[in-house]
A and B are shown apart, each in its own frame.
Chain A
């Protein structure tokens, strides 16, 4: 008998043990742990993202404002660069050797990695690319990718449209966890409509999945999610009017805002000085941007209609004072206050027998009295407390005009303006240390009130509408079949009876016919307006004018600011009249043309500005 017969069981046991170890290991790799499955996906799947075309932007009449120009980006994959003649390549691309090295360093640092393609040369025009395309094929590691760049057929409205830019590292990180994150070479809207409607304009990326082999060659397409094109924006802008406005404001500082009162649609919004939007599109962005930002003391990048909310409204504010006072019943149409020039100065004019005359002549002492009645209502014997009660009531009434509140518009960076509250004066003077006598300069729109031009244009629209407004906005609809955003369809009332508006409107008509704004008169159109002069200590005063036309059933409301333009009637009023005439009649009368010419030629700039022509 073989004594070692039993040893077969030991051997069989070893076999089975090893088998069990393998089975458990495989169970772990294949079933329990999903890690290796994910890694396999990483290895085999190649995912190609497809960038949809960005939405285009049209004006209110369907004219194309922002188009797409086809350009070529030269991409580099540093790992794949073979033995190449660097100097020849530099010559081909028109760059220097140090540029080349710098670009390569950039393509391998930061969030760029050497085995992925990074941007090497941005936005080469079609014609330029055609010249080098065959030669470029020799250089392994370099490839051209077709892309598109914003084009501007009208070369205007830079501030409204805004610009797009390759996403910065910071923005990239901010959006990293979004549902639709950005890719490192994506463009993103930085200002204007491009930034406000970024999500609508950019569309949705598509993806194609390929199976790839070990070399990375795509072998088979297995899945595709089609990209969704960006939606087009249909704006409220009338590009012809905008173009005219920019021409009128050439060589001036200031802005124009024109609104359709019935809808709140912004017809044009000019900020001067302006710049050609093409400057901030494509490859020369950095240089041009730096130039605009630093080398130009006139700060063309600022969007003045919303940026400066500390313009004091001046005389124009008297319109609001009148309406509130009538509504509160503290004055009547025919209330009379003498123009005594005791506290506030005034110019010589006929006695303000009624409100109309007072508005027409912009009588300061009259409105001193009006404001006094608004603030001191005798509700408390203590004038300090009485002033507090009055100010609070008055402030709430003014806010109804969209002043001292943020308009919920689609212009980025819109500001509140300044409307003094109790806290403001308490902080300034101390509680119960101020009364009407302290704050009376508000009565004529000086003092502590600040209004942005867009708020002024909105005021013109309110008066044109006799008591309500729609939030001024720039976009009619998003996408071909889109509708207007609901917040822009909301009618906002000043809660002042429309009958109180008629003396104000009449007075404004008279201002244009016989008063300070005769320069705004148009023979065929009844224009209602009011000039303002914003005091400016350093140089000439700013010329301000608001208007709407025609008087009955107004189609356009406008505010014009010309900095250092001295009187409201000097520059702002004629500019407004040209705009109004152009919009309502589409062609200018001879008188209008003469005005246009004269304005266009004028150079109105602060002599302290260090600029050269």
Chain B
């Protein structure tokens, strides 16, 4: 049995199918969003879609190359890759800034963004470290090491400054959770985010209620509600939980309550004293309390109009009238807001299809990860799924007005060579590792 053939046979065809499908869909959307009429010239660097097509081709070549590597080799070079990327991240800080950001190495018309590669490097490093013998996630030391592995590149990226990309490192919380981090961390996180969102919303509403002659803002009422809820839960625990389990539950409840109240109080203070009027407006726009189609709300307004105008089944390929280079009503329509182009042209049915196959690919990655005997492969798979999911969640959430406007690309769709290369390599490496699953004993 020749080696090449065995690799093709062992490659997961579903994942490959989803991946190539999404890659093509992305390329098509880039084309539609940047094509301005005239001759179509693929692989021509002077057009955005041509450039992107070249990058996709490069990514596929890289992928084929990766498929020919030994899995063990990849695993062994993890730290080396990590170190190289860290050096690149340091190096990029000395590059000339473009629009106030030092994120790119510029070679003629080609630019490389090392922060994208950091996603791959961290995935490899975290997978390598956590899969080492004698490393247990329950150990304090382990957590600190993982945190450091992530914090160093995150900090360097923040120095560029590129807060959006930095946020991606929060995606690793899913990996940690899968590997045994207490679920409470996830819950607390969720609980905290929920409290923050509700508190800011209530505060930004700027409704004042008169209670016993005191001006009370919405989020302060929320504090009372939380206390009330706490009291009810206290009673529930007391009545329904066996005495020996009560103590940790009380502890959790008290901590949650204190966190909630602290968040509310600090938001109350920050909103009134630290925020400037424009910050407040931004939050009010985000929560839909005020509508502003000219100033800070412009992007959102244009994006939602473009998406909404797609209607049921869209305007058809190349028929968009808002989010493409010809009309340019949607800012950043080939990068962060590329989903607008897709949604406008394919409508709700297209979006439904898109969300389903995107999530199907992620679920497939998770399912494949779980069938691994190699811990490294599994963790790497989770890293890949988590990173892609985080991008998907934040990007789409932002474009449809559910998340704040954070500059984060939509993998395989947004313009950007380094990004498509990184995401493709993540998938290819994972496929390569998966193809070897039979050989690995542990």
Contact = CB atoms under 8 A, between A and B. Distances in A.
Nearest to A40: B309
Interface stretch (B46-54, B223-231, B396-404): B396-404
A5 B362 CA distance: 17
B131 interface: no
Interface of chain A, main secondary structure: helix
Given A22-B397, A26-B343, A36-B308, A11 B370 contact: no
Contacts of A29: 304, 307-308, 400-401
Nearest to A31: B348
Contacts of A4: 178-180
B306 A40 contact: yes
Kindly state the interface size class of chain B when it binds its partner.
35 or more
Interface in B334-384: 343, 347-348, 351-352, 355-356, 359, 362-363, 366-367, 369-370
Q: Which 6 A-B pairs have the closest CB atoms?
A: A36-B308, A40-B309, A40-B305, A30-B348, A214-B328, A39-B305
B311 A37 contact: yes
B301 interface: yes
A26 B348 contact: yes
Contact of B308 (A3, A10, A11, A33): A33
Contact of B307 (A8, A18, A26): A26
A465 to B, nearest CB: 67
A12 B367 CA distance: 9
A488 to B, nearest CB: 52
Interface residues of A, number: 37
B309 to A, nearest CB: 3
A16 interface: yes
A19 B361 CA distance: 13
A219 interface: yes
Contacts of B402: 21-22, 25
B91 to A, nearest CB: 35
Interface string A28-62: 01110101110111111000000000000000000
Contact of A22 (B302, B326, B327, B396): B396
Given A4-B178, A211-B327, A36 B363 contact: no
A317 to B, nearest CB: 71
Contacts of A37: 308-309, 311
Contact of B370 (A5, A27, A39, A211): A5
A5 B367 CA distance: 11
B371 to A, nearest CB: 11
A39 B327 contact: no
A10 B307 contact: no
Contacts of B352: 23, 26
B326 A213 contact: yes
A135 interface: no
B177 A27 contact: no
A15 interface: yes
B310 interface: yes
Contacts of A219: 326-327
A7 interface: yes
A15 B362 contact: yes
A12 B366 contact: yes
Nearest to B179: A4
Contact of B359 (A7, A16, A43, A214): A16
27 contacts: A5-B370, A8-B367, A12-B363, A14-B174, A15-B362, A25-B400, A25-B402, A26-B352, A26-B400, A27-B348, A31-B312, A31-B348, A35-B308, A36-B307, A36-B308, A37-B309, A39-B301, A39-B304, A39-B305, A40-B308, A43-B322, A44-B309, A44-B321, A44-B322, A211-B321, A214-B329, A219-B326
A27 B389 CA distance: 21
B413 to A, nearest CB: 15
B312 A40 contact: no
Contacts of A42: 305
Given A8-B370, A40-B306, 15 more contacts: A3-B180, A11-B177, A11-B178, A12-B363, A19-B356, A19-B359, A26-B400, A27-B348, A29-B308, A29-B401, A30-B343, A39-B305, A44-B321, A44-B327, A44-B329
Interface centre among A8, A23, A41, A212 (most CB of B within 10 A): A8
Contacts of B400: 22, 25-26, 29
Contact of A40 (B174, B180, B322, B367): B322
A196 to B, nearest CB: 44
A39 B326 contact: no
A15 B177 CA distance: 14
Interface in A221-252: none
Nearest to B386: A11
B295 interface: no
B152 interface: no
B355 A43 contact: no
A19 B397 CA distance: 10
Contacts of B183: 7, 10
Nearest to A42: B305
Interface of B: 174, 177-180, 183, 293, 301-302, 304-312, 321-322, 326-329, 343, 347-348, 351-352, 355-356, 359, 362-363, 366-367, 369-370, 385, 389, 393, 396-397, 400-402
B191 to A, nearest CB: 14
A8 B327 contact: no
Nearest to A27: B348
A536 to B, nearest CB: 68
A26 B305 contact: no
A31 B180 contact: no
Contacts of A3: 180
B90 to A, nearest CB: 33
Contacts of A10: 177, 183
Interface centre among B183, B327, B363, B400 (most CB of A within 10 A): B327
Contacts of B328: 213-214
A92 to B, nearest CB: 33
B285 to A, nearest CB: 15
Contacts of B309: 36-37, 40-41, 44
Contacts of A40: 305-306, 308-309, 321-322
Nearest to A215: B328
A11 B393 CA distance: 13
A214 B327 contact: yes
B305 A30 contact: no
A211 B308 CA distance: 17
A4 B322 CA distance: 47
Contacts of A21: 402
A3 B183 CA distance: 13
Given A15-B362, A36-B304, A26 B351 contact: yes
Nearest to A3: B180
A43 B343 contact: no
Interface centre among A26, A39, A41, A214 (most CB of B within 10 A): A26
A115 to B, nearest CB: 10
Interface string A129-161: 000000000000000000000000000000000
A45 to B, nearest CB: 9
A22 B305 contact: no
A470 B422 CA distance: 92
A276 to B, nearest CB: 49
A12 B178 CA distance: 11
A11 B174 contact: yes
A1 to B, nearest CB: 13
Nearest to B311: A30
B318 to A, nearest CB: 13
A519 B183 CA distance: 118
Given A40-B322, A213-B328, A214-B329, A8 B312 contact: no
Contacts of B312: 30-31
B351 A30 contact: yes
Nearest to A25: B400
Contacts of B306: 40
Contacts of A31: 311-312, 348
A35 to B, nearest CB: 7
Contacts of A23: 351-352, 355
